[in-house]
Amino acid sequence: MKPGKDLNEIVPRDVSELIELVREQWQGNRLPIQLFLLMCLNLAIAPAVYATTGNEITRTAAYAIGILGIVTLGLSVYLFVVIFQPERF
Amino acid sequence: MKTKQPLETPQKSPRRRENRQQNKPGRVNTKGLYKRALREAFLKLNPRVMMKNPVMFVVWVGTIITILLALYPSLFGPVPGDNQRLFNSLVAIILLLTILFANFAEAVAEGRGKAQADSLRSTQSDTIARKLLPDNTTVEVSSTELHKGETIKVIAGDIIPADGEVIEGVASVDESAITGESAPVLKEPGSDVASSVTGGTRILSDELIIRVTAEPGQGFLDRMIALVEGAQRSKTPNEIALTVLLAVLTQVFLIVVVTIPPIANYVGSPVGVVTLIALLVALIPTTIGGLLSAIGIAGMDRVAQFNVVATSGRAVEACGDVNTLVLDKTGTITLGNRLAEEFIPVNGHCVVEVADVALAASIFDQTPEGKSIVKLAHHIGSAVTFDRNAAEGVEFTAKTRMSGTNLPNGDEIRKGAVDAIKGFVRSRGGQLASDLDEAYERVSRLGGTPLAVACGEDIYGVIYLKDIIKPGMRDRFDQLRRMGVKSVMLTGDNRITASVIAQEAGVDDFIAEATPEDKIAVIQQEQAAGKLVAMTGDGTNDAPALAQANVGLAMNSGTQAAKEAANMVDLDSDPTKLIDLVTIGKQLLITRGALTTFSLANDIAKYFAIIPAMFAAVGIGSLNIMGLASAQSAILAALIYNALIIPALIPLALKGVKFRPLSANQLLRRNILIYGLGGIVAPFIGIKGIDWLIAAVGLA
């Protein structure tokens, strides 16, 4: 059995299929996808943190600080939503 | 398959009867409440639930981060100091306890509401109903299959299967399952109040034919259960406003805490993430954030304990903001039944003649007033001298304002408002007696209701109906006045009687000779002046005014229309309770304000505990005015105080701040003194004491 055969059935064949897949997944599993995108964002933030601090912290700590920053920003956004749309809570 | 209820006699099921007595709405079964609340406190740790409370959600996120730091102290880089893992673990445990205490407070308050709903639900049961067919035969069907408009027959011992209106028969009904009142209530057709029956109550004697007025699942009990359960979930306008305020404060403190590390690094005193989280949690208003929903739910519960079912927390809160009370005179300010006290003859007649005519006029009158006139006439020695079956009763109407009897010999006997009787006599070509007005004024000045009696064109005299003001009413209106609440009395009585009663009772204003339309007019007039109005009512003609008022309290004995229009239903049918509800509403608002003041005032001591500890290395140790043992013990002490103050205040949140009938300014001064000053002083003492204990145990 060729390993590529199964993969072909899963992976979308063109861009429109890919967009459709992402859209479906976004509607069904919003939270995991949001978390995944934030982790991706951290791929950009963490190296910047690591570069700024030099050798004072480890690479893992830089990633952790990046996530902490995202969580803090998320909390701030959440609080703004509470302030402007309190009836949702 | 539905179970058939015992039909013989109520005594056949003593256990069930006993259960019903125990389960009356005012006394909910709270057995196992704290155990359930403890379980709920853990279940509420679900982030989707926590997100409903912004302050506690921030603490929740802080707890997760602190737990991670307890497992990996160097997660965010190297941290100076010994025993970081122990310190982080302690902080994580304290933060978790803070959330659990807040969840517990909410769960206890919710538990009481759920217990009330359960107790109401226990009065509901599927019963077998005897549905009447057009050929007057009965067929047994389940109560869930009954529809609006169908007629049913219930006999002694039956549970009434649905809400309805009595169309035939007279019977006594045990309504204790709903009202808690064990005395049976007489139900009969033709009366607004006595003809209404509620599903779930039990008929004790005789039998009734009832027209069903509610579809299955839409009866009074169903709506009450839905209201009690649903009311806990929707936030009131004041709660929403306070939630916004708390979210703004949390946002401000979050920004403050986030900006501290760069400054700390600049001054050479780097601060760890756990310390920052501790500072954030100590500064955000966790006390009021944790107790806010519990205060609201407890307010609903206090209303329920008064045997009043509120449609929403908004209605309870509105009670606290009420500026004007519109009250009926009879039954609210005075005792419900006016009794005939004296017959005053006019126009040359004697007392016995007046009594004879009054008796003849009242023989078909089934109101308490009518019955008391008959009783007084009998006492004087009068007797009915005509064939009662051949006579015809004339019903009282708001338009004619008189009632009476048409005798078999053609005589028209009438009794009613003096003006109405004057008009009647004139229309029959009679002359008005000169001493009539004198008798009318005499009765009015005594605070009584004068009713004139006439036979054809001849006025015989005046009946003095005595009104008795309920004891303690004057004090209660004085209290309301001190709180800035205006009371308006509405009465169908003449102006002199109304002014005498108003003066004696101590109400601020009155409207005499009022019609049902006057009620709605006075409410609209007050609302146009920007005031919130509360009123009570029980009749169908009260429904528009009940709907118009900001707080409408309907009597459970009232009509379906009144109960649907109102936003509160009094199960005991006592209109005076409106005054108590205003007190409960004000108590709810005061409790919320007092605990918010206390929570915010607490921040001062927490600043003095944590900030000097954080920046001790930079030389601000002199700010450690409490003389706390170490930086770590200071942080732990502040957090432990922050956690412990929540359960310490749960009893106050549930019971409410003791209500005092003071003006808004006096209350503000008093609460700022007690909860503002207390909120500043208490944490200094608490934090110092806890710090001393921590140092003594050697935890930090």
Of B52, B74, B258, the CB nearest to A89: B52
12-71 of A, contacting B, C-beta below 8 A:
53, 56-58, 60-61, 64-65, 68, 71
* Residue B604 near residue B680 (C-beta atoms within 8 A): yes
Question: Rounded to 5, what percent of chain A is helix, strand, coil?
Answer: 85, 0, 15
Mean of per-residue pLDDT scores for chain B: 82
Chain B touched by A89 (CB under 8 Å) = yes
Question: Are B78 and A80 an interchain contact pair (Cβ–Cβ within 8 Å)?
Answer: no
Span B110-124, average pLDDT: 70
Residue B612 C-beta-side C-alpha neighbours within 13 Å: 19
Q: Which residues, in sequence order, are CB contacts of A74 under 8 Å at separation 6+?
A: A38
pLDDT, residue B7, reads 33
What are the pLDDT digits (tens) for B402-423? 889 998 888 899 998 888 888 8
pLDDT, residue B10, reads 34
Which of these is catalytic: B321, B328, B458, B570?
B328
pLDDT, residue B302, reads 80
Q: What is the pLDDT along chain A (89 residues), one digit of tens a residue?
A: 455 566 666 666 677 777 887 788 777 777 788 888 888 888 988 888 888 887 778 888 899 999 999 999 999 999 999 999 888 87
Question: Are B77 and A65 an interchain contact pair (Cβ–Cβ within 8 Å)?
Answer: yes
- Beta carbons within 10 angstroms of residue B32's beta carbon: 10
pTM over 0.90: no
Residues above pLDDT 90, as percent of chain B = 16
* Residue B397 near residue B427 (C-beta atoms within 8 A): no
pLDDT at residue B128 greater than cutoff 90: no
A53 to chain B: which residues are within 8 Å by CB? 77
Task: Give the residue from B544, B553, B452, B449 showing the smallest Cα distance to B491.
Answer: B449
The residues that bridge with B451 in the sheet, in sequence order, are B417, B463
pLDDT at residue B625 greater than cutoff 90: no
Span B600-621, average pLDDT: 81
Question: Rounded to 5, what percent of chain B is helix, strand, coil?
Answer: 55, 15, 30
Q: How far is B307 from chain A (nearest CA, A)?
A: 30
Chain A touched by B643 (CB under 8 Å) = no
pLDDT at residue B26 greater than cutoff 50: no
With bands split at pLDDT 50, 70 and 90, how would you rate the model's confidence at B498? confident
Chain B touched by A83 (CB under 8 Å) = yes
Q: How far is B35 from chain A (nearest CA, A)?
A: 27
pLDDT, residue B588, reads 87
With bands split at pLDDT 50, 70 and 90, how would you rate the model's confidence at B28? low
Task: Give the residue from B51, B103, B63 showing the smallest Cα distance to B281.
Answer: B63
Question: Are B54 and A78 an interchain contact pair (Cβ–Cβ within 8 Å)?
Answer: yes
Question: Are B240 and A58 an interchain contact pair (Cβ–Cβ within 8 Å)?
Answer: no
With b meaning 16 or more CB within 10 Å and e meaning fewer, what string describes B557-566?
Answer: bbbbbbbebb
pLDDT, residue A78, reads 94
A79 to chain B: which residues are within 8 Å by CB? 54, 58, 247, 250-251, 254
B328 is annotated as an active-site residue = yes
* Residue B176 near residue B20 (C-beta atoms within 8 A): yes
pLDDT, residue B193, reads 56
